[in-house]
Amino acid sequence: MSLDSFVTLGRSALRVSPLTLGTMTFGEDWGWGTDPAHSTEILAHYLDRGGNSIDTANIYTNGHSEKIIGDYFAGSPSKRDRVVLGTKFFSSLHPGDPNGGGAGRKAMIHQLEDSLRRLQTDYLDIYWLHNWDKYAPIEETLRSLDDLVRSGKVRYIGVSDLPAWKTAEASVLSHFRGWTPVIALQLEYSLLERTIEGEHVPLAQSMDMAIMPWSPLKNGFLSGKYKKAQGAPLDAARAILTGVPSEADYEVIDVLHQIAAEVEASPAAVALAWLRAKPIVSSILVGARRKEQFIENLAALDVQLGNDQVARLDAVSTPTLNFPAHVLETGTPMLGYGGTKINGVQTRVWPMLESSKVRY
Is 60 considered catalytic here?
yes
My answer on whether 239 and 351 are in the same domain is no
Strands 19-22 and 15-16, sheet pairing: unpaired
> What mean pLDDT do residues 288-307 have?
92
pLDDT confidence band for 135 (50 / 70 / 90): very high
Shared-domain flag, residues 264 and 337: no
* Same structural domain, 186 and 328: no
pLDDT at 348 (0 to 100): 87
* Residue at 335 is within a domain: yes
State the total domains in the chain: 2
For residue 205, being part of any structural domain is answered with yes
Mean pLDDT of the chain: 93
Rounded average pLDDT over 116-129 = 98
Distance CA 251, CA 197 (A): 20
Exactly one of 60, 127, 156, 226 is catalytic; which is it?
Answer: 60
Give 222-277 pLDDT, tens digit per residue.
999 888 776 666 555 555 566 788 899 999 999 999 999 999 999 999 999 999 99
Per-residue pLDDT tens digits for 72-101? 999 988 899 999 999 999 999 999 999 999
Looking at residue 94, its pLDDT comes to 95
Q: Are residues 217 and 328 located together in one domain of the fold?
A: no
223: containing domain: 7-320
Residue 122 has pLDDT above 80, yes or no: yes
Task: Tell whether 90 and 112 lie within a shared domain.
Answer: yes
Domain assignment present for residue 198? The answer is yes
78 plus 156 within the same structural domain: yes
Give 338's pLDDT tier (boundaries 50, 70, 90). Answer: confident
Residues 270 and 327 in one domain: no
The full 3-state SS of the chain, as one line of letters, equals CCCCCCEECCCCCCEECCEEEECCCEECCCCCCECHHHHHHHHHHHHHCCCCEEECCCCHHHHHHHHHHHHHHHHCHHHHHHCEEEEEECCCCCCCCCCCCCCCHHHHHHHHHHHHHHHCCCCEEEEEECCCCCCCCHHHHHHHHHHHHHHCCEEEEEEECCCHHHHHHHHHHHHHHCCCCEEEEEEECECCECHHHCCHHHHHHHHCCEEEEECCCCCCCCCCCCECCCECCCCHHHHHHHCCCCHHHHHHHHHHHHHHHHHCCCHHHHHHHHHHCCCCECCEEECCCCHHHHHHHHHHHHCCCCHHHHHHHHHHCCCCCCCCHHHHHHHHHHHHCCCCEECCEECCCCHHHHCCCCCC
From 124-133, 221-230, 238-247, 300-309, the region with the lowest mean pLDDT = 238-247
Q: Are strands 345-346 and 341-342 parallel, antiparallel or unpaired?
A: antiparallel
Same-domain status, 59 and 173: yes
Q: What pLDDT shows up at residue 315?
A: 97
Q: Of 25, 13, 7, which Cα lies nearest the Cα of 286? A: 25
> Do 294 and 327 fall within a single domain?
no
Of 38-42, 116-120, 288-292, least confident by mean pLDDT is 288-292
Is 2 a member of any domain? no
**Could you tell me if residue 70 is inside a domain?**
yes
Q: Are residues 313 and 335 in the same domain?
A: no
